[in-house]
Structure formats: C-alpha cells, structure tokens
C-alpha cells in the first residue's frame, strides 16, 4: 500500500521542480463539506440506517428514489417516514452541484460547468456516439500533475472531489437525458484532475455507478485514465476489475515525455511501461494509450516509429488525439496530413490505432477550458 503522505510530497515536489518556481507549501484546511448521499454504496447505507434506528431494507427504497426515479429532494421520497426523511436531510446533501453554464455543440456534445457546495467549479461533458451516450467526469477541482498542454492544471489543485460529487455529475447528465428519453451508457473518467490522485473516491464512485441498484452501468462501458502514477497502476491491476484502463502517454521517450508531463520526473517512462505490462498480464485486458498530437513536438513519422518500438508486444490500442487549442498554452494542433501519416506508420508496424473524433470544438472543448474561461479566479 502506498504511503499517502510520501506520495503527496513526491507529486508536489515534482510539479514545483518542473515549474522551476518552488513555493512555500501551506497546509490547506480540509473544507467543511456535507457528505453527499451519492457517496454511499448500498451496504454502507444499510449500516447507516441501522446505526440510526431505521430498518436496513429502506436502503433499497432510497436507492430506487436516487437512481431510478432520480428525485431532487429527500421530501419527494414519499414511501419513507417523515422522521427518516428529516434524518437524511440533516446528515446528507442530495444536491451538491448547481449548473452555472450548459453549452450545447452543433454535434450534440453538451458541456456543463457545475458549482460545488464550497463555491468551486468543475466541468462535465456529455458526448454522443453511435454506440450511445458517454459522460466524461471530473475527479478533482483543478489538478496538480502540471501537464504543459492541459487547461485543467491552470491554478493547480484546489481539492479532491467526494465520491458522491463524482456520482452526481452522472446523475445530473442523466436528468438532462431523461427529458429526451435517453440514457447514459458509458462513463470515461478523463475530466479535470488525475483520477489516481483521488483513488479511494474514484473506486467508491465506480462501485456505486456499476451497482445493479445504482446506475447499473456495465464495467466494460467504463474507462479510467491516468497520467502514469505507477504505484496506483499496480494497485488498480490487483483490483481485478473489468473496467477499461487508459494511460496518457503523449511521448515515446523519457526526455520528450517529461517536457510535456512533469509526472515523468517522478515516475520514469521505463517504470511506467513495466507497470503497464504488469496490468495486462495480471488482468488479461488490453490497455489504451492516449496520445495527444502537438505540431512539431511529438507528431513526426520518426517519433511514430519510436512509439511503435516502445509498445510493441503489449496488448494495447493507441488513441490519437488532435489536441484542442488552449489560449493559455503554446501548443498548436497537428495538421490533418501529419495525423494520417502518424497513424499510417503505427498501422504499418502492427499497432492497433484509431484517431479520436473531434467533438465540441465550438464550445470550449478542451479539458478545463470552460472553467478557465468562466472562473479565471480559480485558475490563476
């Protein structure tokens, strides 16, 4: 098991070193947040009910109100006693997110900017595909990993989200889809933040949305992505879940990767690839490598050859992502011809590869971009 304090120190140090501006670290006070009812798994809710003098079977009724009827207040849970509704209201928040902005793209993508109970904001995105509706959820307010091409890291990490705040993002999107008679079918944990830096809350979230009494979203319809926090990759592999796993790679050698991603200073590329091999061997599942293409940085045919050599023999798939332009960052997106040349080189070398379809380019699509535009005080 990872020593969390040492782990936090290591991540903070590497980001400061990468930014070349060490700062005096001030211990942040833990925010005083009301626990979200969505954080609880059925057995945890049953325990709480017993401890509070209520019958445990009420948990199934509450889950039905939360995830099937999707009510917005405890008062609407009409088959519960007034006393139990009052206990729930006193102990839990049913709504911790309020919608600040909802933007809809011409391609059907919807981007939400939600305000949390302490005033911070997060983004959630609904993406429409031929195979269904996918929701991209956020796991942290901001991010401390410091990837140099990403808007999410602007302003650093403010706090981790509670499991219920992650669950509620999916519930809020589902409530929007209810009006259209549609359903959330897929989840990607690729929004603002590093999911493995908020590991316990992420795992709790997965168990709630995958549960048959919860949103009942199949494990194989859920994908979690990491920038490469090596100890957590081993831990995740040992969970033996059927959930899809992706690694943000973005470069095929140590020097190029640490320029783009400061995390590579703490966990070298060689260590990362060793952890990925452990994951594929332990689970028998393939890994997806997310590879953002940036003009003149990591998009040449020679680099594609280097990437092919790095991942050859690993049960994997490469997802090429033409990066969205972020005004606060200097990177330029790769030309179409260069994207296709890169893809062709990987295919020639026997690598499974796809180019991610661009979505929401007309509505501040890049991860963290809407928040950076609308809540600049959080991203300075």
Q: Does 300 appear as a known binding residue?
A: no
Question: How far, in Å, are 36, 76, 121, 344 from residue 84 at the CA level?
Answer: 16, 12, 31, 61
316 is catalytic: no
Q: Does 147 appear as a known binding residue?
A: yes
- Rounded to whole angstroms, the Cα distance separating 244 from 317 reads 11
Q: Does 316 appear as a known binding residue?
A: no
98-104 and 110-115 beta bridge pairing: antiparallel
Q: Does 225 appear as a known binding residue?
A: yes
- Rounded to whole angstroms, the Cα distance separating 152 from 142 reads 6
Element (H, E) at 135: strand 132-136
Q: Does 136 appear as a known binding residue?
A: no
> Which DSSP string do the residues of 349-379 spell out, in sequence order?
TT--EEEPPP--TTS--STTHHHHHH-GGG-
Active-site option among 54, 123, 297, 343: 123
Read off the DSSP letter of residue 215.
T
Question: How far, in Å, are 16, 76, 199, 271, 282 from residue 230 at the CA level?
Answer: 19, 45, 13, 7, 15
Q: Does 249 appear as a known binding residue?
A: yes
Active-site option among 168, 343, 367, 378: 367
Q: Does 143 appear as a known binding residue?
A: yes
Question: How far, in Å, are 102, 203, 316 from residue 113 at the CA level?
Answer: 6, 23, 33
Tokens of 35: 């626990």
Tokens of 322: 């033409």
86 is catalytic: no
| Other Cβ atoms closer than 10 A to 18 | 20
Quick one: how far is CA 166 from the chain centroid?
9
Write out the binding residues. Answer: 143, 147, 150, 193-194, 225, 248-250, 324
Binding residues for S-adenosyl-L-methionine: 193-194, 225, 248-250, 324
**Binding site residues for [4Fe-4S] cluster, as ranges?**
143, 147, 150
* Active site positions, annotated: 123, 367
């Amino acid at each position: 098991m990872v020593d969390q304090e040492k782990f936090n120190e290591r991540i903070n140090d590497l980001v400061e070193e990468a930014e070349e501006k060490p700062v005096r670290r001030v211990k942040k006070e833990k925010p005083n947040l009301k626990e979200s009812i969505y954080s609880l798994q059925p057995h945890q809710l049953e325990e709480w009910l017993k401890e509070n003098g209520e019958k445990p079977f009420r948990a199934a009724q509450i889950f039905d109100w939360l995830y099937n009827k999707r009510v917005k207040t405890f008062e609407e849970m009409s088959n519960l006693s007034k006393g139990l509704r009052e206990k729930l209201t006193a102990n839990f928040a049913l709504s911790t997110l309020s919608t600040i902005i909802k933007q809809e793209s011409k391609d059907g993508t919807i981007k939400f900017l939600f305000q949390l109970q302490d005033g911070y904001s997060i983004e959630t995105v609904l993406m429409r595909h031929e195979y269904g509706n996918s929701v991209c959820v956020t796991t942290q307010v901001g991010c401390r990993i410091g990837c140099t091409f990403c808007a999410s890291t602007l302003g650093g990490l403010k706090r981790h989200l509670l499991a219920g705040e992650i669950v509620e993002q999916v519930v809020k999107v589902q409530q929007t889809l209810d009006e259209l008679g549609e359903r959330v079918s897929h989840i990607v944990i690729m929004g603002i933040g590093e999911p493995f830096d908020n590991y316990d809350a992420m795992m709790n979230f997965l168990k709630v949305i995958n549960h048959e009494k919860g949103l009942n979203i199949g494990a194989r319809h859920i994908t979690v992505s990491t920038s490469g926090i090596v100890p957590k990759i081993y831990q995740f592999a040992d969970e033996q879940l059927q959930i899809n796993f992706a690694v943000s790679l973005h470069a095929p050698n140590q020097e190029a990767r640490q320029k783009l991603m400061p995390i590579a200073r703490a966990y070298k590329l060689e260590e990362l690839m060793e952890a990925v091999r452990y994951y594929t061997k332990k689970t028998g599942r393939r890994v997806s490598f997310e590879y953002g293409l940036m003009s003149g940085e990591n998009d040449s045919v020679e680099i594609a050859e280097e990437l092919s050599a790095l991942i050859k023999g690993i049960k994997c798939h490469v997802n090429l992502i033409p990066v969205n332009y972020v005004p606060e960052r200097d990177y330029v997106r790769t030309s179409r011809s260069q994207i296709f040349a890169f893809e062709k080189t990987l295919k020639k070398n026997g690598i499974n590869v796809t180019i991610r379809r661009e979505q929401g380019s007309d509505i501040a699509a890049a991860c963290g971009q809407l928040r950076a535009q609308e809540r600049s005080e959080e991203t300075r």
